[in-house]
Each structure stands twice: as C-alpha cells, then as structure tokens.
Amino acid sequence: MSATGIGAAVRRKEDQRFITGTGNYTSDITRPGEVRAYFVRSPHAHATIDKIDVSAAKRMPGVVDILTGADLAGDKIGGLICGWAITSKDGTPMKMGAHPAIAADKVRCVGDAVAVVLAETLLQARDAAEAVQVDYGVLPAVVDPAKATAKGAPQLHDVAPNNLIYDWHLGDKAATEAAFAAAKHVTKLDIINNRLVPNAMEPRAAIAEYDQGNDALTLWNTSQNPHVARLVISAFVGMAPEHKLRVIAPDVGGGFGSKIFIYPEEVVALWAARRVKRPVKWVSDRSEAFLTDAHGRDHVTHAELATDANHKITGLRVHTIANIGSYMSTFSSSVPTYLYATLLSGQYAIPAIYAEVDAVYTNTAPVDAYRGAGRPEATFVVERLVEVAARELGLDPAEFRRKNFVTSFPHQTPVIMTYDAGDYDASMTKAMEMIDYKNFGKRKAESEKNGKLRGIGFSTYIEACGIAPSQAVGSLGAGVGLWESAEVRVNPTGSVEILTGSHSHGQGHETTFAQLVSDRLGVPIDTVSIVHGDTDKVQFGMGTYGSRSGAVGMSAISKALDKIEDKAKKVAGYMMEAAADDIEFKDGKFTVKGTDKSVGWGDVTLNAYIAHKFTGGQLEPGLKEGAFYDPTNFTFPAGCHLAEVEIDPETGKITIANWVAVDDFGNIINPMIVEGQVHGGIAQGVGQAMLEGAHYNADGQLVTGSFMDYAMPRAADLPSFKVDTTVTPCPSNPLGIKGCGEAGAIASPAALINAITNAVGHENVPMPATPSVVWKAAQGGMKKAAE
Amino acid sequence: MYAFKYEKPWSLAAAAALLSESGDAKLLAGGQTLLPAMKLRLAGPSTIIDLSKVPGLSGVTREGDNLVIGALTKHVEVMNSAEVQKSIPALAHLVSVLGDPAVRNRGTIGGSLANNDPSADYPAAVLALNGTVHTNKRKIAADDFFKGLFETALAADEIIERVSFPVPEKAGYEKFRNPASRFALVGVFVAKTKDGVRVAVTGAGESGVFRVKEMEAALAKDWSPKAIEGVKVSASGIIADLHGTADYRAHLAGVIARRAVAKAG
C-alpha cells in the first residue's frame, strides 16, 4: 500500500479550501445585475387561495416584479413530479397530485409558495413580500398519517381519494399467514418512526441566469445530482431543452438526501430569470429550510415476528402507513416501498415475509429520502422486533440473533434481495468483545449502586447500497437508470483529470477518487483532480445518494482507467518497439517484460499527445477514455452496533456510556474518511432516537420550526465511539466496495432504543426518547419491577 | 430586520429622555435576545437606544454585605470576577452555564432581567438571593420586579442601572437543560441569607420565575436535600410543551432543588 493509494488514511484534499473559507458555494456566487427572490409562503396548512393582490407590493422600492401561480400556469411551466412509479395491490398506478412550483388555487402545507417577489435587494424583496395581500379560505388540516385516510378527513388532492396515494405490498401473504398460524410465539410492536428535518449546514440556494443571445439558461444550485435536476427540469417541467440548460452544483455543504430532489424554488428562479431577463438569486434561510426542505422518515407501523419452538424466526409481517406530506417529492414513493420493505429480512434467514404499505398525503412538508432512506425504518422494525422477541423468549439477544443469522451466500430473501456476501456473526462477536459484553452485568450493578439504570442494546443491521442495477430498478418502477459515468482525461504532462457524475458534498470524493487513480497509475495524488457537478463538463451522471459513489462511481472510474492503461501500453509499445501485450505497467513505469527497458508515465503521456512514435493509421493520438458502469447487484453493507446507556431515573437524562460499531463495508479506500462517515451517521441516528422530532400541531403548524425547539445532536450528547471493521469484499463490483455513507444512521436508532428499553425494563419508549419521555418510562419500568 | 432609528446617548438622562420620547423604542444592551428577534422580524422597534456609551453601568463591586453588579456587566465578566467567585460562587456558576460563549461574551445582567424570559437563569438568582434592582427612578425588590412572562415592573421609561445581591451564607444553582435550546427546562437557585431561606425556580413557570415557599420553610428548619424530599411542587401553572409535561417539570423542580441544596453545601 502506498502512502496515498487504496487503504491509506490520506487527509482530505478539499479541506484546505473548506476550512480556510475559500470554498465556492452557491450563495457565494454573484452574477452581474442579479435580483433577489423572496417567496411569499402560506401561513396556513390547508386553504384555498381566493385572491392575490400584488398591486401595493409592486409599487414598493426596488421591486422588479412579483409573480404568482397564475403567471406560472400562463407560461405553461409544468409541475414537479415523482420519478418512481409504484403500483397498488389492485394494479392501479399511484395517485400523484399536481405539484405546481407556485400554488395557484390551493395551498397544502405551511410554507407552500404563493408568490415570488423579485427586487434589487433581499431586504426590499422581503418588505414587498409582506405587502402582498393574499385572501385564504382556510380549510381543516390533517397532519397525522394514521388519520389521513379516515372518513371525513380533509382531502388534499382530488386525484387521491381518502388521501391514499397507493396501498402497496410485497412478499407472500399466504405463506406468511401460515407461518404465523403455526408459530409458537408471536412478538408484536407498534412503532412510530419519527419525522426528521434534514438540516444540512448549507441551506438550499439557486441562481438562474438567462443568456438571451443563445436562448440558454444556467442554474447554480445546491444539488446532489445536477444532471438529474437538468433532466427533470427539462423533460418534465419543460423549462428548456437539455442542451439549452446548464446546471452547476458547486461546493455543496451537506445534503443527506435532501438535495437530491428537484424543488420549486429552482424552477421558479429559472423561469423568473427568463421573464425579467436578469439573473435571479434565491437563498433559503433556516426558517424556510425547516418548512420547505423535504423531511425524512414519518412511518406508523404495526409489526409482528413469528418464532417456532426452536427459537427460529419463521415469519415477519408489517403494516406501515407512510406520510408523504403535501406533495410527492422526486423519489418519495420509492422510500417506504423498495428501499424499505426489501430490507425487512435483516441479517436473518426468514422464510416468509409480508409487508403492506399505505402512502398518504397530509398537510405537512413533503417527505423523501433522508440518510438511509427506508433502510433505517426497516432496520428499526427488524432490530426492535428481534430484541423484544429475545427478551420475551428469555434468550440472550446475541444468541437469538446467532441462531437466525444468514450464514451461507448468496442468500435469496423473500423480499427481492439476494445477499451476496457477509459474515454477520464475525461483526457481532467483535463488537461484543470491544464493548466487553460479558462484564455488562457488573457495570449494571455498579450503576444501580449509584441509583442509575443501565442498559445495553444491539443493532445488527443490513442495508442495500450501491444503488443500483438499472434494469432491476426499472422493473420496480424507477424512471431512471442508476449507473454512473466517468471520464479520465490525461494531460500531456501526465496530470490527470477525472470527470465523474458522483457529486461530492461532504463525502471527500476529491481525495478518495484521487487515491484510486494514484494507486492505479502510480502518479502523485496531487496531480489528480476530480471534476464534478457541472453538466457542461461531465457528460451525464446520476449523482450521490444511497452510498453509491464508491461502489458505482468509483467502479466507473476503474473501468475507464482500464481503458487508459490499455491505450498507454500501446503508446509505450511504440516507444520501445515492443508489442503492447509485452508491456507491463507497475508503479507508474512501463517495462518490456523480461527486459530492463522501461519508460515512465510522463514520457508515455507526452508521446500519446505529440504522436511522433506512431502513425495515425496505427493509433489515435491522445489519452482520454470514458466508461459507464452499471452494477449487477445492490451491495450489502452490514454490521453490528452496540449501545450502552446509563439513565438517571430521577431526571430521565441519558448518558451514552459506550458505543461500539463494527461494520463490514467491503474493501475500504480511505479508513479515516470511512470512520468519519460512521461517526456522522451515528450522530444522526442518535439524534433521531433521543433528540430530533419534527412536530406539527393539529392545525398543521410546524411547532419545531427552529433550533430552539428542534434538538440537533451536539458533541456533548455523544460518547467517544469505538469503531472497527470486518471485511468481506463485495463480489459484484471491481473494487469490492459496499458503501459506508448511511450505515451509522441506519444502525444506531435501534441500538439506542434497545439499550434504553433494556435499562427501563419495558418496551414503550417512543422516539425521540427525550428526558421527559425517559423519565416517564423509567417510572413505569421501576413500578413494573416493584410489582 | 426592519429599518429603525439608531441612537447612542452618552448619559443615562439622555437615554431616559430618548426612551420616553419614542413609544416603541428598545434599549440595546448585549442584544442577545433583541437582535435575533429583530433579524427574524419578530420585533421591529422604531428606535434602538444603544447603551454602550452610557458611563457607570458596568462592573462588579462589593459594598458592605452586598455584591453590586452594573446593568451592562457582561456575563463573562461576572463569571470571571474574583469578587463574585468569593462572595457568591453560586452566581459565578450560574453565569458559567448561561447560554454559550458567544452569548456570555455579549449578554448582560440588565438585559437578561429586563427581558425576563421564563427560562432565563438570572431571574432565579435575583429572586432567591432577594436582590434589589436599582433603576434610574427607584429601587425594586426582587419580589416586586418579576411580573410574569416577559413582564417586569419596569415603567416604559425606566432603565436598570445595577443589581445588588445580599451576600448569602449558602447558595447553590442547578440547571437541567432543554435538549434543544439549552435554556433551563428547570433551574433552581437556593439561598440562605440573613433574611431567611429562598428557593426560586426558573424554566418551569407559566408566569416565569417563582418561589417555592414550602421548600423555603423546610430548608429554614433543616438545610439539607433530605428536608425537601417530601415537598411536591404542584403541576398547576407549570409549563407543558414538547420538551416536558407539567408533571415532569414539577417533579424535576424537586429533584433539581435537592441537587442545588447539595451543591450549596
């Protein structure tokens, strides 16, 4: 292993600019003559728009124009769409309501845009926005997904009676019912997977510019996938043809899924820029972000697990109501279906599984993918069921898991997935050693002496990443393929530019991708630059989400590097008058096999371009290759998280005493970056389990609309994590990578709630387990113990 | 932020005159509550009267049996004051857990008291120590100063000059933080002075800071955590929200009071 190659903990190249304030984020960009956009947003969760009067506002200082939903419709700008078609049990397609970028007739959540003010300054735009007069006819609202389909509930979209978008199912119902009928024991749980607000450090932003001479538009935005944004805005919104629309996602300060989607504001910015013929800039403030970024999770689930007399799991069934919010966001339909129910087998050999999912509209912000996207919800269901079942059966939770782990591969689950490789016992055993599981009892006794409760909880999770084989996802309803592209451009002097569709917004691609190139070509890492995020530079790409950049994006780079190597060998062959097949390439040196004749990387790259050693008939000059890589399977990262907590029963305060994570991510390019991903993921999962929760009141007002009420995890809430890995290389991609970006967020909520419930002695602890909740639970638990 | 007129008077009299001239003027001390509220357009005063050039409003002094703190004294100055640490260490501790470093470096005792946020820390100290608020017009006893949620006895043209605290025999402050805001979900200041024992609870009361007389009576007889174990704080009038039920906060007031007594020694 070289100091900068695969497996080296190279410090992140991009951090120099990020930590010295020299990054280039969308809001850092200023275009000449730009106007600022400020949206007039609905204060009501559900209302008809009876009248909008912009006349007074238009006369205010600095106002350039004020546009409404009627103007948008007049210009025939299309609405936003959800790009994954889900079919209900009865074969009918999902019922997608229209989603205009500015509401025209009706608002469906607080924060729904009803007009946009364009002014010389942001302050002027804000002042004028307050002067826009909107007459609303306020309607009753529904925010609770469990109540959305009830008789008499307020109706959001005419196309979706009873607010039901789809009722979908997966698995074998009859086989599962039979398994439950024959079960020796059934464990039942009611679970609410709490709604989360993503809260990336950088709020969303967009700048749109219209080039009148070329009738072309450019959009700078905070996107995880600029090409997909261009495709949707072009093909579905109908803004401009793809070749007349350039989308640039420069430095992006975190996304966690929330910046995958195509949002109303960027559509409006483009449309408005063309109308007023000036660049239009919009930057979300944090309050807007709380209201308008797509939220995550929000499931209401009943789940059951069947076991036989030998403590083998024989069946699992769930019924989930998934809150989609007021409109279907870009990939919202796929999250509670194919990203959720397909993972309900967990790490276990379960013969029969049946899942039913009802997706419903409510008067809340749209819900879509958020770090883990469906897989945290599945893991929470499975890992809570398994832990509770073990407790009910009087078994050690590790033993119960061991008895039911999948141990031979490939393993076909009853819910689509074929697990390719893994060693679940290895990661759990290692985690148990690291946390000193066998002495937990002693630590618990010590805590009890001090009047504290102590608990330990497992989460042996699995996820499907490396998203995804295009043909497979196409057959499941995806509107796009999920391959990735790469182009390798070698310059005459030997430096290398990698163009990739994998956008980096915190993941460290500029370092890890360069490590791959350094490793393969034997060039210094500083001579490799990673180019991404601009549709004019990178031909096409599918973007970064679903822990896919390593497994899919780097595999595409690897494929292109194969081609570079082949071509370079040919050039070296002409230079040394040898056949290309006789050339060996190692550590940046081309050698004629069995001789001491060799040429270096720089000589070969220069010769590829000066083309003096070969004729045009023999070889094309230049050194540039591209590749598209389409995975043949999902990847299956898996592992074990163990959480140990100490609870003060008097106050309900939780102290996380120990946290161990042993993950199998397959081969690892940069262990330091992987560890960072695990840390961040755990922080988000701990946030979900004990701090974060988006709460709407019955009127549809977001009560947790700022950090005063929405508790983000802080360093002081977290322990020092003990993190390690086990490795079973992924067999389906050339680098053996499984992906690591979401594991922490997927695994950790179940581990923490399992630990808390273990400490308080009963299972009724909802998320977020705030001190108030835990105190109440501890009272109940202590009462139970006293009885 | 809405546009406003900015004034920077050089004397207390000039500040008071400006305050009485303008109906909705606001005094600017550290600005740690006012400025965020203005940025969010939740507050839009027509005039801001910046007190930073008014002389004599800052500093800590010991005057006989009293510790006197100027209204514009920043939290960090109280926290680091050798005099505060010597005379009322519980007060230095309270300020050390107030807000975050940014707030402590700008925020002031006068600003905090005039705002009277129901979750603020300082009101608990003033009430429990039986402090006195000195204004440009009069002296106001702690029991008369706090009038309810964000309400005080201050008249429209009244400016806090300083606050005096009787130096106690014993005092302690314990705070249980709201997991989101880190304000006090419940904070309890207990103090034993020559005038008796006082217990003040912040963060929990629907009308702001309040005293728990039953605890005071019990602690007057026996200054120990055990003495107040049996005292229940009623859940009526206690804040109930996402972060805690009224029952929880009422219970927590008891727990935190005991810990404050233990801390006071």
In chain B, which segments carry CATH 3.30.465.10?
Answer: 60-264
For residue B23, the model assigns a pLDDT of 81
Judge if A299-467+633-786 and A483-629 fold alike in CATH terms: yes
**A299-467+633-786: which CATH topology?**
Aldehyde Oxidoreductase; domain 4 (3.30.365)
Mean pLDDT of the region B116-136: 98
For residue A48, the model assigns a pLDDT of 98
Band (pLDDT 50/70/90 cuts) for residue A786 is low
- Residue A211, SS3 per DSSP: strand
A707 touches chain B (CB under 8 A): yes
* Cβ contact B74:B104 at 8 Å: yes
Say if the Cβ atoms of B40 and A708 lie within 8 Å: no
Domain residue ranges in chain A? 35-139+201-254+259-292, 299-467+633-786, 483-629
For residue A782, the model assigns a pLDDT of 65
Say if the Cβ atoms of B181 and A708 lie within 8 Å: yes
Say if the Cβ atoms of A653 and B181 lie within 8 Å: no
pLDDT per residue as tens digits for the range A159-192 = 999 999 999 999 999 999 999 999 999 999 999 9
Contacts of B2 in chain A (CB under 8 A): 127
Say if the Cβ atoms of A775 and B179 lie within 8 Å: no
Contacts of B185 in chain A (CB under 8 A): 771
**A483-629: which CATH topology?**
Aldehyde Oxidoreductase; domain 4 (3.30.365)
Q: Which CATH architecture has domain B5-50?
A: 2-Layer Sandwich (3.30)
For residue A368, pLDDT beyond 80: yes
Q: Looking at CA atoms only, how far is residue A328 from chain B in angstroms?
A: 28
Say if the Cβ atoms of A703 and B244 lie within 8 Å: no
Mean pLDDT of the region B101-125: 97
pLDDT per residue as tens digits for the range A483-499 = 999 999 999 999 999 99
B4 touches chain A (CB under 8 A): no
> Which residue type is seen at B246?
A
For residue A785, the model assigns a pLDDT of 56
- Residue in B2, B181, B248 closest to A772 by CB: B248
Closest CA to A304 of A193, A187, A388, A384: A187
For residue B22, the model assigns a pLDDT of 84
CATH code for the structural domain at B60-264: 3.30.465.10
Contacts of B245 in chain A (CB under 8 A): 772, 776
d(CA A400, CA A58) in angstroms, rounded, equals: 68
Q: Which two tokens stand for residue A478?
A: 């995806």
d(CA A400, CA A187) in angstroms, rounded, equals: 14
In chain B, which segments carry CATH 3.30.43.10?
Answer: 5-50
Closest CA to A754 of A460, A458, A462: A458
Contacts of B242 in chain A (CB under 8 A): 693, 695, 703-704, 709
B255 touches chain A (CB under 8 A): yes
* Cβ contact A47:A138 at 8 Å: yes
Average pLDDT, chain A: 97
In chain B, the residue whose alpha carbon lies closest to the alpha carbon of A694 is: B242
A709 touches chain B (CB under 8 A): yes
Contacts of A123 in chain B (CB under 8 A): 1
Say if the Cβ atoms of B243 and A652 lie within 8 Å: no
Contacts of A775 in chain B (CB under 8 A): 248, 251-252
Say if the Cβ atoms of A709 and B255 lie within 8 Å: no
Looking at A349-434, list the stretches that DSSP marks H as alpha helix, in order from N- to C-terminal side. Answer: 375-393, 397-404, 424-434
pLDDT per residue as tens digits for the range B5-25 = 999 999 999 999 999 998 899
Report strand pairing: A528-531 vs A496-500.
Answer: parallel
For residue A1, the model assigns a pLDDT of 63
pLDDT per residue as tens digits for the range A68-81 = 999 999 999 999 99
Say if the Cβ atoms of A770 and B40 lie within 8 Å: no
- Residue A114, SS3 per DSSP: strand
Closest CA to A247 of A629, A547, A540: A540
- Residue B126, SS3 per DSSP: helix
Q: At the fourth CATH level, which superfamily is domain A35-139+201-254+259-292?
A: Aldehyde oxidase/xanthine dehydrogenase, a/b hammerhead (3.90.1170.50)
* Cβ contact B180:A707 at 8 Å: yes
Q: To 10 degrees, what angle do helices A397-404 and A424-434 make?
A: 160
Residues 38-77 of B with CB under 8 A from A: 40-41
